[in-house]
């Protein structure tokens, strides 16, 4: 059982929770995730670690209300417990001093991007970060990102904050302006796909962090399998980060909807 | 704890055993027919994942069956048991009506008798070595049924015994993985006085006993009682802890752990790498069974979803395939089918499981192999292309190799496909321990019969050493490892 010690609403549907997990706080690296479960009937769901405080023995998780399980996590109050929490899982991000890194986050994907931005900066890179969302309310972690980035660009679909337009428009502007050595993208699958198509055109090595459906998160079931470079990989143990130009995004997006009907049914039942 | 041959022979000469031996003439014992296990009717049991198929023997049946046992001078049955249960001693206790005593005999060597009585392939182990089979060509004494009877009797009586324990020696040992191998090891080490902690990655203890084997063969409640027994013996359990990730082996050493037993299993599912295999609706047996058995997805109240379909195909012929296809039937499949590339004769599944599956209406498409999956416009599998096979020359495993029949392809409708073609060792531990010798198949290399790895304080057993094998072999490895780790630790820390 892991206690929630802090909770912050980024928006009505996006919540940051700080959870006691001293061992995970100590051993986690950027790119790692956890699997958690709320309640004895709860489902196991993956969440990327957005930050950690080793001294306090806590990790930060950012959750967006989507279905039954994420709503249950978001509804937990300070002092309440997460029934099960295991990690850190997955391979950590490979951080090197490469030169200039373009970090692209979409929506709630900004949370897992934060520790990666931090680590790239710390390794001596020039970090340009682009945060994108549908509107101003959905832009999260702006101050933290600014702190660790050399430049921060904000893009909103409706122009309610920062520049108006899609993330790829912001990216292309930067790419045309200066040499980018590597690009990292985390966000909705469709966004990562278009980021990847763009950087492929400019031949910029790109890493995407995938948010596949998972059950155990330890390589045991293959629910999270994805085709990378023509080969089947398990996101939980071989990833979650892969060479974006090798990922079969169409298949990945289709697999994300693999339990759509069952999920909707469960959510309807839950709301009653 | 190990009993010498001498000791076992002397036990046979105890007054009560001698009296029983004389009570019934050998000829009369041999004329009794083997007990039949009562079963829940197929029409009823397929309505729920949670109705146990085998009901167990009645006390009357058990006492009669126990009297079939000849109490052999040289009990060959024990050679067939990987954990060397003192079989005649527990059976004779049943015969004289001391059933709690019989249960405590089981616990001398086995941490999980209620489990083994249910899932061991006795026909290939103890029962194959029974006097009746070896000398009379008659059905063996139903050792498995009797083991289950004694263990269930004890559990239901509420008088659960704790085995004999050696005084605590304060030496900490860690077990990695809480499946049958780790639990068997933990039980033996606790009896030997060690301070045992079991680390488990999942949120429940039991490994394959919980996530793999369905409730209709092995109720989780039965497993929990056996785990509770280990707790009472002082074994500590830590869930949600992945050694090598949550903390390293070195961290555990710094915490005072002197030795390690890796029983992390063969949890990595194999796929066939044929076109379309990543379509929605195609999943590994591990995923399918975990969703249902560990997460309770068959129940409305569970948050975990499971895919249901009218036509469900399970690919494979092992026990996992049988468990999956019978689960599909219970989730409402109209056609639950096994697609297996060899013939029924070569199926590695237990004959009993195949029989039960057939009773439940499972269709067997043998000498048939999938070659491609076809998805609908939503990316969900709707059909599979299969090919007929014929048997050719025997391969290295001694089984006749299946050879495709040209032009025999045809299409099968299916909305859910479960792939149960085997598992590989889970790489998490082998990858996280430096200097550990691993085979090209990813299994941990150990000195045979000692279960000691290239790192002296690290022992391993079960599927992480064998690849995919059985519950009881995993438990046998746990016993061997405990015996040898005790010798190792005694030399290192206790000999002066």
Q: Select from A254, A44, A132, A28 the least CA-distant residue to B295.
A: A44
- The predicted model gives B116-137 an average pLDDT of 93
Whether residue B277 is contained in a domain is answered as yes
Of A139 and B267, the structure prediction assigns the larger pLDDT to A139
Q: Which of B240, B301, B303 sits opposite A69 (nearest CB)?
A: B303
CATH of the domain at B415: 3.50.50.60
> What count of other Cβ atoms lies within 10 Å of the Cβ of residue B18?
12
pLDDT at B230: 95
For residue A38, the chain B residue with the least C-alpha distance is: B303
pLDDT at A12: 86
Q: Does B303 touch chain A (CB under 8 A)?
A: yes
Range of B478's domain? Answer: 172-266+425-494
Q: Select from A180, A184, A201 the least CA-distant residue to A243.
A: A184
Q: Does A271 touch chain B (CB under 8 A)?
A: no
Q: Does A229 touch chain B (CB under 8 A)?
A: no
End-to-end CA distance of chain A: 28
Shortest CA gap A228–chain B (Å): 12
Tell me the per-residue pLDDT of B404-446, one tens digit each, with 9 for 90 and over.
Answer: 999 999 999 999 999 999 998 888 888 888 889 999 989 999 9
Q: Does B246 touch chain A (CB under 8 A)?
A: yes
Residues flagged as binding site of A for FAD: 62-64
Q: Are residues B258 and B339 in the same domain?
A: no
- The predicted model gives B238-258 an average pLDDT of 96
Whether residue B166 is contained in a domain is answered as no
User: What residues in B contact A227, CB-CB < 8 Å?
Assistant: 278
Q: Are residues B125 and B90 in the same domain?
A: yes
Per-residue buried b or exposed e for A178-199, using 16+ beta carbons within 10 Å of the residue's own CB: eebebbbbbbbbebbbbbbebb
Q: Does A233 touch chain B (CB under 8 A)?
A: no
Tell me the per-residue pLDDT of B446-459, one tens digit each, with 9 for 90 and over.
Answer: 998 899 999 999 99
Q: Which residues of chain A have pLDDT under 70?
A: none
Confidence tier at B41 by pLDDT (50, 70, 90)? very high
pLDDT at B1: 47
Homologous superfamily (CATH) for A3-89: Translation factors (2.40.30.10)
pLDDT at B291: 97
Of B40 and B163, the structure prediction assigns the larger pLDDT to B40
Interface of A with B in 48-77 (CB under 8 A): 68-69, 72
Contact B472/B82 with Cβ under 8 angstroms? yes
| CB atoms B203 and A37 under 8 Å | yes
| CB atoms B245 and A89 under 8 Å | yes
CATH code: domain A100-256 is 3.40.50.80
Q: Where are the domains of chain A?
A: 3-89, 100-256
Q: Report the alpha-carbon distance of residue A43 to residue A19 in Å, rounded.
A: 18
pLDDT at B389: 97
| CB atoms A215 and B295 under 8 Å | yes
Number of domains observed in the structure of chain B: 3
Please give the share of chain B, as a percent, with pLDDT higher than 90: 85
User: What residues in A contact B378, CB-CB < 8 Å?
Assistant: 254, 257
Contact B7/B14 with Cβ under 8 angstroms? no
Last residue of one domain, picked from the residues B398, B422, B446: B422
Question: Bridge-partner residues for B488, per DSSP?
Answer: none
For residue A260, the chain B residue with the least C-alpha distance is: B305
Q: Does B427 touch chain A (CB under 8 A)?
A: yes
pLDDT at A5: 97
Burial of A158 (0-12, 13-18, 19+ CB in 10 A): exposed
Angstrom distances, CA of residue B8 to CA of A16, B102, B218, B381? 64, 15, 31, 58
Please give the share of chain B, as a percent, with pLDDT higher than 70: 99
Q: Does A92 touch chain B (CB under 8 A)?
A: no
Q: Does A255 touch chain B (CB under 8 A)?
A: yes
Residue B363 has pLDDT above 70, yes or no: yes
Q: Are residues B407 and B305 in the same domain?
A: yes
Confidence tier at B2 by pLDDT (50, 70, 90)? low
- The predicted model gives B238-251 an average pLDDT of 95
pLDDT at B496: 62
Residue B3 has pLDDT above 90, yes or no: no
Q: Where are the beta strands (DSSP E) in B376-484?
A: 381-394, 400-404, 410-413, 416-419, 423-424, 458-460
Q: Which of A84, A87, A223 sits opposite B283 (nearest CB)?
A: A223
């Amino acid at each position: 059982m892991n206690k929630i010690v802090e909770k912050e609403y980024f928006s009505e549907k996006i919540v940051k929770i700080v959870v006691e997990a001293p061992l995970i706080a100590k051993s986690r690296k950027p790119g790692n995730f956890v699997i958690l479960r709320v309640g004895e009937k709860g489902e196991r769901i993956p969440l990327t670690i957005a930050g950690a405080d080793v001294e306090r023995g806590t990790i930060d998780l950012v959750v967006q209300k989507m279905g039954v399980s994420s709503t249950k996590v978001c509804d937990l109050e300070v002092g309440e417990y997460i029934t099960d929490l295991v990690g850190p899982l997955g391979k950590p991000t490979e951080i090197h001093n490469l030169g200039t890194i373009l970090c692209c986050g979409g929506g709630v994907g900004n949370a897992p991007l934060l520790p990666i931005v931090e680590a790239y900066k710390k390794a001596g890179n020039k970090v340009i970060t682009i945060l994108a969302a549908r509107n101003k309310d959905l832009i999260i972690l702006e101050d933290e990102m600014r702190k660790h980035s050399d430049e921060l660009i904000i893009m909103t679909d409706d122009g309610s904050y920062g520049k108006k337009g899609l993330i790829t428009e912001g990216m292309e502007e930067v790419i045309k302006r200066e040499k980018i050595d590597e690009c990292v993208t985390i966000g909705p699958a469709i966004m990562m796909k278009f980021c990847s198509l763009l950087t492929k055109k400019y031949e910029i090595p790109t890493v995407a962090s995938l948010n596949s459906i998972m059950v155990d998160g330890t390589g045991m079931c293959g629910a999270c399998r994805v085709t990378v470079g023509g080969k089947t990989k398990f996101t939980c143990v071989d990833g979650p980060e892969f060479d974006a130009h090798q990922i079969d995004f169409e298949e990945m997006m289709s697999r994300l909807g693999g339990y759509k009907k069952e999920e909707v049914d469960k959510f309807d039942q839950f709301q009653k | 704890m190990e009993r010498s041959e001498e000791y076992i022979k002397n036990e046979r000469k105890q007054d009560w055993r001698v009296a029983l031996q004389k009570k019934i003439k050998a000829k009369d014992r041999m004329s009794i027919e083997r007990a039949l296990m009562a079963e829940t009717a197929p029409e009823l049991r397929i309505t729920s994942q949670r109705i146990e198929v085998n009901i167990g023997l009645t006390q009357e049946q058990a006492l009669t069956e126990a009297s079939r046992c000849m109490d052999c001078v040289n009990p060959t049955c024990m050679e067939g048991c990987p954990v060397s249960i003192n079989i005649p001693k527990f059976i004779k206790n049943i015969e004289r009506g001391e059933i709690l005593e019989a249960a405590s005999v089981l616990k001398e060597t086995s941490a999980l008798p209620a489990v083994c009585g249910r899932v061991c392939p006795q026909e290939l182990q103890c029962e194959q070595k029974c006097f009746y089979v070896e000398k009379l060509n008659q059905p063996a004494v139903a050792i498995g049924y009797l083991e289950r009877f004694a263990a269930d009797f004890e559990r239901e009586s509420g008088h659960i015994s704790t085995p004999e324990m050696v005084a605590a020696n304060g030496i900490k040992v860690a077990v990695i993985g809480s499946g049958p191998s780790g639990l068997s090891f933990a039980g033996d080490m606790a009896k030997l006085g060690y301070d045992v902690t079991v680390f488990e990655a999942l949120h429940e203890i039991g490994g394959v006993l919980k996530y793999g084997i369905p409730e209709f063969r092995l109720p989780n409640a039965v497993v929990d009682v056996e785990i509770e027994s280990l707790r009472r013996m002082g074994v500590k359990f830590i869930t949600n802890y992945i050694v090598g990730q949550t903390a390293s082996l070195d961290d555990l050493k710094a915490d005072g752990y002197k030795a390690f037993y890796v029983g992390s299993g063969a949890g990595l599912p194999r796929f066939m790498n044929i076109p379309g295999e990543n379509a929605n609706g195609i999943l590994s047996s591990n995923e399918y069974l975990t969703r249902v058995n560990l997460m309770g997805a068959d129940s409305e109240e569970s948050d975990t979803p499971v895919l249901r379909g009218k036509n469900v195909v399970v690919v494979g012929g092992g026990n996992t395939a049988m468990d999956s296809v019978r689960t599909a039937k219970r989730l409402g499949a109209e056609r639950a089918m096994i697609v297996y590339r060899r013939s029924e004769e070569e199926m590695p599944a237990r004959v009993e499981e195949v029989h039960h599956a057939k009773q439940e209406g499972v269709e067997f498409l043998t000498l048939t192999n999938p070659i491609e999956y076809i998805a609908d416009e939503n990316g969900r599998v709707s059909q599979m292309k299969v090919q007929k096979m014929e048997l050719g020359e025997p391969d290295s495993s001694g089984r006749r190799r299946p050879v495709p029949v040209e032009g025999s392809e045809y299409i099968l409708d299916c909305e859910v496909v479960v792939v149960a073609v085997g598992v590989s060792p889970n790489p998490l531990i082998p990858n996280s321990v430096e200097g550990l010798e691993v085979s090209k198949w990813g299994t941990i290399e150990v000195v045979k019969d000692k279960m000691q790895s290239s790192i002296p304080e690290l022992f391993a057993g079960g599927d992480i050493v064998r690849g995919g094998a059985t519950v009881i072999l995993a438990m046998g490895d746990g016993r061997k490892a405990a015996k040898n780790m005790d010798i190792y630790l005694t030399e290192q820390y206790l000999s002066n």
